[in-house]
Amino acid sequence: MPNRPLGPAARAVPTVSPALAMLGVNLMVFMATLDMSIVNVALPTLVTVLGTDFAVIQWVILSYVLVIASLLLLVSRLGDMRDKKRIFASGLVVFLIASLCCGLAPSVAWLIAFRAAQGVGAAMTQALGMAIVTQIAPPSSRGRALGFIGGTVAMGLMIGPPLGGLLIGFFGWRSLFLLNVPVGIAALWVVARRMPALPPVRAGERFDVPGALTASLALGAYCLGMTGLQRNGFGDPLGLGLLGLAGLGLAVFVAIERRAAQPMLDLSLFQNPLVTLPLGMSVLVFITGASGFIMPFFFQSAQGRSVTEMGLLMMILPASMAVTAPVSGSLADRFGSRGISMLGLFVLLGGCLALGTLTARTPWWGYLLRTLPVGLGIGIFQAPNNSAIMGQMPSHRLGVGSGLANYARVFGQSTGLPLVGTIFSALVVSSGQVGQRADFTNAPPDALAAGVAGVFRWLGALLVVAIVLAIWAWRIESKRQAAGTPS
């Protein structure tokens, strides 16, 4: 039968390409992390332009992260029940529309609300990004593929600060959010045209709505309580009551998940310590990473640097992450993830202890030498740790595995932001040079610098705990290998 030329309809059929599909995932990851790092740089500017204070402006970041944390596991379950591609593409659309609204926000209240809407779209994509990559990448290169995601995160964080400084200087703060629109359109085109359909591996899964609502309320109460203590003093009854409510909510959540026929969070996964311990390590590392939002106040208010200079200094940490993240993923494929991730924790601890010596007179090169190990450590740690988590997941739980790995990061950020803010506030107030409800834009430089340095010393203590968990996981895996038990 003679060959006939293809008609227009046949020629229009998209060609599936796993490599380009992973590019689409990375574009969305880049956009979300770029947005986060750009907003960090803008916080002092937003305090002034929108006429607000330190406790309120945190919610420009916290509303975004909190919504992601509230929805990640729910969306992860949805990814195990429905087509992951469709959910990912829908999340991209939501993120694009919310970004446009953020750029047009008339007040800080509207900006916080639209940032929460952005979080909905980000949750729909971040919850499934690693699951999609794990499903379409060959097992032999899984660590490398996840390493590229880590490198993309670092690239977004690296470009954000200097780009944010330039955009604020030339076009104003609204341009920070409008920048997402063209990047997101490109990502959406690639996902729609090149990503294969990714139907569920197992049918019959159902939502756990009570568990999702309880987890969201508990996390929201925690964040509101912590920021309330910053504004009203550390004996504030409302803030302490909200923290108590958060603890009660956590207990209720665990009880619901134990009784649910198909829980949002399968607690049986935590019976495997090689899942639980890496997740705990990731939470502690990203609590440390939440410290970035106080650095603009250090550079501008304590050291008097310009927005552009601050942006260039703040790109040092993510630049060092970008160098190490893809390499560490490949090394994990070859040598195993435990030793590589533990090395990253030790390097990160050294950087935090070094940043604990910052002063208002620290030169730019002194900051560079102190912060470089922090970026290197996170970059070395993240991809091997994620690969270790995903390697323990059964095929029908890849969505939940991806959600858990992302949830550990977002939970660390969402709890770390108010925690870091509260420690910072307490240290600055304890200097005796500001009032209880501190106006940090007018605090003395030495008090601000001492607060920042003190935060990093506290974070160093958390990293010691993470190292203990890493040693524990390494010993368990070694014993299983010696006994011939699959790890």
- Greater confidence, 103 or 402? 103
Question: Is the four-CA dihedral 127, 267, 329, 484 of positive or negative sign?
Answer: negative
pLDDT digits (tens, 9 = 90+) for 114-151: 999 998 888 888 777 767 776 766 666 666 666 677 66
| Residue 469 confidence (pLDDT) above 90 | yes
What CATH number has the domain spanning 16-197+264-483?
1.20.1250.20
Percent above pLDDT 90 for the chain? 12
Would you state the pLDDT for residue 196?
66
How far is 71 from 208, CA to CA, in rounded Å?
12
Average pLDDT over residues 148-157: 69
Q: Which residues contact 355 (CB under 8 A, 6 or more apart)?
A: 370, 371, 374, 452, 453, 456
Answer for the pair 431, 447: CB distance below 8 angstroms, yes or no.
Answer: yes
**Domain ranges in the chain?**
16-197+264-483, 208-263
- Residue 7: pLDDT band (50, 70, 90) is very low
CB neighbour list of residue 193: distance below 8 Å, 6 or more residues apart: 14, 15
Q: How far apart are CA 311 and CA 163, in angstroms?
A: 7
Residue 249 makes CB contacts below 8 A (sequence gap 6+) with: 214, 215, 217, 218, 221
Average pLDDT taken over every residue of the chain = 78
Is 0.95 surpassed by the pTM of this model? Answer: no
Instruction: Give the distance, in angstroms, between the CA of residue 120 and the centroid of all CA atoms in the same chain.
Output: 14
Say how far apart CA 352 and CA 42 lie, in whole Å: 24
